[in-house]
Amino acid sequence: MPLDIVVGAQWGDEGKGRVVDLLSESSTLVARYNGGDNAGHTVTVGEKIYKLHLIPSGIIHTNTIGVLGSGMVLNLETLVEESAMLRAAGVSITPERLWISDAVQLITPAHRLLDSVQDSALGAAKIGTTGRGIGPAYVDKVSRHGLRAGEILDLEAFAARVRAHFAEVDHILTDWYHQPGLDTETLLKEYLSCAAELRPYIRRIGPLVQSAIQKGQTVLAEGAQGTLLDVEQGTYPFVTSSCTTATGVFSGLGLGVQPVRSVVGVMKAFQTRVGAGPFPTELQGESAAFLRGSGANPWDEYGTTTGRPRRVGWLDLVLLKYAHEVNAFSELFLTKLDVLSGLNEIPVCVAYQRGGKKMDTLDFSGDARLLAQCTPVYETLPGWQAKLGACRNWTDLPKEAQAYIQFIEAKIGVPVRTISVGPERSAMIRRS
Ligand code: GDP
Ligand code: IMO
Ligand code: MG
């Protein structure tokens, strides 16, 4: 009963797309279970770079079916655009190989506008959202008047519901935020045209996924964002609005827990974050410039979705331990080890100091205010100079790089089974 789960172990952008691409080779269904087009997952195959926001990264392999689960929030316009982009790149997108859950919540252009206006209105306290309407769409979901994909099947009734939703948001934008109103009829026309195009893709997903599992087909769940952005377990309130951890898979796809075979925690060899919120090991100056890169390489630390420079810092093992606690990783997949080449020494955060007390595990649940009071305690490991891009075996790695990995394994108690040393599909080392 094989269900493999890929989840981000940090603040997102760990390299989940490339990991899903690798594991999709032997999967039948590849399913997103949370978030929306706030995600930006990059897959590099030879010279081609695919940047995916909604469609599961596994779609690039011809053997897979992509699933958009009910735990997601779905912007119909982005999906139409992304499908066209993939078709132009030679990837087949048809109702046979892309299934949309009838229970998935929809994001509209009104949600997007509201997201930007509401986040800006927070001033200095803003979250720094991606502006994709994620928060407002999840608010509508839990307040029980959200729009669901299944409603598209009756286009006339759907149009009335969207019009009423636009009127409500228009009221909030103009009366509360004193912003210009919505151009309702133009937005409605474009939105309904996307809805009509996507109608054949809508399915009841739960039974299809369960039946695949019963037939012994592998289902791969592709997490978006990362553990520390989880709405419950993350660094609240500087989080996204969905369940990003492994537990989100079950409600987000409509499955029970029995089929789980593995939970793969994807971690970068250092720490990054986009948007606001506490970041104990954050760096400025020369070290930050080294980790972030200049932007000349496609993998340098600039957001896939927004292009914002990512905040960077040394690896934080206190937070990684916390991520293991809330996900129960069966293995870790370490990415971007190659980026650390050239450093003489590599500090790694092994504990925090807070209020005169030293702790090597978090003694609170994520809470941003408490995390902001923590000062990192570092152990410094020796660096290495050799470039790692051509390494394909454990023994090809410099002994200092091996020691860095073994240090992580010893502190977290989870094996690092795979290490990637470049963005390209083949640039990785599998350990037995
Ligand atoms: P995701 O959101 O977790 O899928 O990660 P992103 O795609 O947003 O960001 C990861 C970036 O790192 C992408 O540009 C990947 O192509 C790149 N990448 C992934 N693994 C490696 C690696 O091992 N080395 C290098 N240099 N780049 C990598
Ligand atoms: P992937 O899947 C990194 C961050 C935003 C912001 C916060 C809330 O590529 O790892 P939202 O728009 O979700 O309401 O923004 O979450 N964020 C991400 N950061 N990677 C992502 O996705 C992210 N998706 C959202 O920057 O701080
Ligand atoms: Mg990303």
> For every one of its 432 residues, what pLDDT tens digit does the chain have, with 9 covering 90 and above?
599 999 999 999 999 999 999 999 999 999 999 999 999 999 999 999 999 999 999 999 999 999 999 999 999 999 999 999 999 999 999 999 999 999 999 999 999 999 999 999 999 999 999 999 999 999 999 999 999 999 999 999 999 999 999 999 999 999 999 999 999 999 999 999 999 999 999 999 999 999 999 999 999 999 999 999 999 999 999 999 999 999 999 999 999 999 999 999 999 999 999 999 999 999 999 999 999 999 999 999 998 777 889 999 999 999 999 999 999 999 999 999 999 999 999 999 999 999 999 999 998 888 999 999 999 999 999 999 999 999 999 999 999 999 999 999 999 999 999 999 999 999 999 998
Q: Is the dihedral of CA 158, 205, 62, 75 positive or negative?
A: positive
Active site annotation includes 170: no
Q: What is the CA radius of gyration of the chain?
A: 21
| Alpha helices for 143-235 (secondary structure H) | 155-171, 184-198, 205-214
Asked whether the bond before 237 is cis by omega within 30 degrees of 0, the reply is yes
Token match 């087909």: residue? 217
**Strand-by-strand arrangement of the 375-382 sheet:** 357-359, 345-354, 375-382
- Ligand 1 center to 115 CA (angstroms): 27
347 lines ligand 1 (CB under 6 A): no
Which of 225, 268, 279, 299 maximizes ligand 2 atoms within 8 Å of its Cβ, making it the mutation to test the pocket? 225
- Side-chain-side CA neighbours of 350 within 13 Å: the count stands at 13
- Ligand 1 center to 347 CA (angstroms): 22
Which of 335, 338, 419 maximizes ligand 1 atoms within 8 Å of its Cβ, making it the mutation to test the pocket? 335
Does this model's pTM top 0.85? My answer is yes
Active site annotation includes 41: yes
57 lines ligand 1 (CB under 6 A): no
Residue 121 host element (H or E): helix 109-121
**Distance (Å, whole) CA 33 – CA 67:** 8
- Ligand 3 center to 427 CA (angstroms): 19
Residue 249 has a CB neighbour count (10 Å cut-off) of 28
Q: In 323-372, at which residue ranges do the beta strands (DSSP E only) sit? A: 331-335, 345-354, 357-359
Residue 313 host element (H or E): strand 311-313
245 lines ligand 2 (CB under 6 A): no
**Distance (Å, whole) CA 44 – CA 400:** 27
- Side-chain-side CA neighbours of 92 within 13 Å: the count stands at 9
Amino acid at 12: G
Q: Which residue CA neighbors atom 14 of ligand 1 most closely?
A: 299
Q: Which residue CA neighbors atom 28 of ligand 1 most closely?
A: 423
Instruction: Please report which ligand is nearest the Cα atom of 272.
Output: 2
Nearest-atom index, ligand 1, CA of 422: 24
Instruction: Please report which ligand is nearest the Cα atom of 228.
Output: 2
3-state helix, strand, coil in the chain (%, to 5): 35, 20, 40
14 lines ligand 1 (CB under 6 A): yes
The encoded tokens of residue 111 equal 């949600």
Q: Which residue CA neighbors atom 12 of ligand 1 most closely?
A: 299
Q: Which residue CA neighbors atom 16 of ligand 2 most closely?
A: 240
- Ligand 1 center to 275 CA (angstroms): 18
For residue 385, give the nearest of 345, 330, 326, 428 by alpha carbon: 345
Residue 361 has a CB neighbour count (10 Å cut-off) of 11
Rounded to 10 deg, the angle between the 317-327 and 399-412 helix axes is 50
Nearest-atom index, ligand 1, CA of 305: 8
Cβ 34 vs Cβ 244: under 8 Å: yes
Cα–Cα distance list, 330 to 235, 260, 325, 417 (Å) = 23, 10, 11, 10
**Distance (Å, whole) CA 278 – CA 348:** 17
The encoded tokens of residue 307 equal 């292009």
At 405, is the secondary structure helix, strand, or coil? helix
**Distance (Å, whole) CA 185 – CA 102:** 25
**Distance (Å, whole) CA 404 – CA 413:** 14
Q: Are strands 3-8 and 260-268 parallel, antiparallel or unpaired?
A: parallel
Nearest-atom index, ligand 2, CA of 274: 26
Q: Which residue CA neighbors atom 26 of ligand 1 most closely?
A: 422
- Ligand 2 center to 309 CA (angstroms): 13
416 lines ligand 2 (CB under 6 A): no
- Ligand 1 center to 15 CA (angstroms): 4
Q: Please report the pLDDT score of residue 1 as a whole number.
A: 59
Return contacts of 365-370, CB within 8 angstroms, 24+ apart: 365/232, 365/233, 366/228, 366/230, 366/233, 366/234, 366/235, 366/236, 366/239, 366/322, 367/235, 367/236, 368/235, 368/236, 368/237, 368/238, 368/277, 368/278
- Ligand 3 center to 13 CA (angstroms): 4
Of 41, 53, 111, 165, which is the active-site residue? 41
At 226, is the secondary structure helix, strand, or coil? coil
